[in-house]
Amino acid sequence: MTALRQVYVLNGPNLGRLGSREPDVYGATSYAGLVEECGRLGKELGFDVDVRETNDEGELIRWLHEAADGSIPVVINPGAFTHYSYGMRDAAAQRTAPLIEVHISNPYTREEFRHTSVIAAVASGTVAGFGIGSYRLALRALAEELGD
């Protein structure tokens, strides 16, 4: 049996509150539901998905360093850090494997400060606006990119 490829799905601030946080914006799926869905689809795609969430910017940066050091592909929803964390942008720029930025909502239909992503310029791509489906699309895009 072939070993599954390690993939990180990293989530920033407030994403652990999915299901209860502004369901009209972020949907009704809980964080546990997101973890389950990423794990299920990941296995189907040949991935061993490690889903993590933190409200701590430094921890998210350390995880990006860990991914870079191990050439581990990343799907990342930086949450509010998307718009201003240059430290996170610099950590993401050190990637040694594909990195896909994900957003549950479409930032461009929301407040103006959400229209800027400091991560996008160093990511392989961005998927936004499809609810939890954004993660599914990102994992599928990652599988395609790694398959090339």
Identity of the amino acid at 12: G
Helix, strand, or coil (residue 4): coil
Query: Which letter does DSSP use for residue 24 in this model?
Result: H
Question: Which one of the listed residues 8, 26, 84, 135 is annotated catalytic?
Answer: 26
Q: Residue 109 — very low, low, confident or very high, per pLDDT cuts 50/70/90?
A: low
Q: Is the pTM of this model over 0.95?
A: no
What is the CB-side half-sphere exposure of residue 109 using CA atoms within 13 A? 8
Told to judge if 103 belongs to the known catalytic residues of this protein, a careful annotator would answer: yes
The CATH number that applies at residue 26 is 3.40.50.9100
User: Which residues sit in the known binding site for substrate?
Assistant: 77, 83, 90, 104-105, 114
Can you spell out the DSSP letters for 59-99? HHHHHHHHHHHHT--EEEE-GGGGGT-HHHHHHHHT-SS-E
Question: Which one of the listed residues 65, 84, 86, 103 is annotated catalytic?
Answer: 103
Q: Residue 39 — very low, low, confident or very high, per pLDDT cuts 50/70/90?
A: very high
Domain extent at residue 17: 5-147
User: Which residues sit in the known binding site?
Assistant: 77, 83, 90, 104-105, 114
Task: Tell me which H or E stretch contains 136.
Answer: helix 133-147
pLDDT at 64 over 60: yes
| Total of domains in the chain | 1
Told to judge if 65 belongs to the known catalytic residues of this protein, a careful annotator would answer: no
Please name the residues in contact with 39: beta carbons below 8 A apart, sequence gap of 6 or more: 49, 51
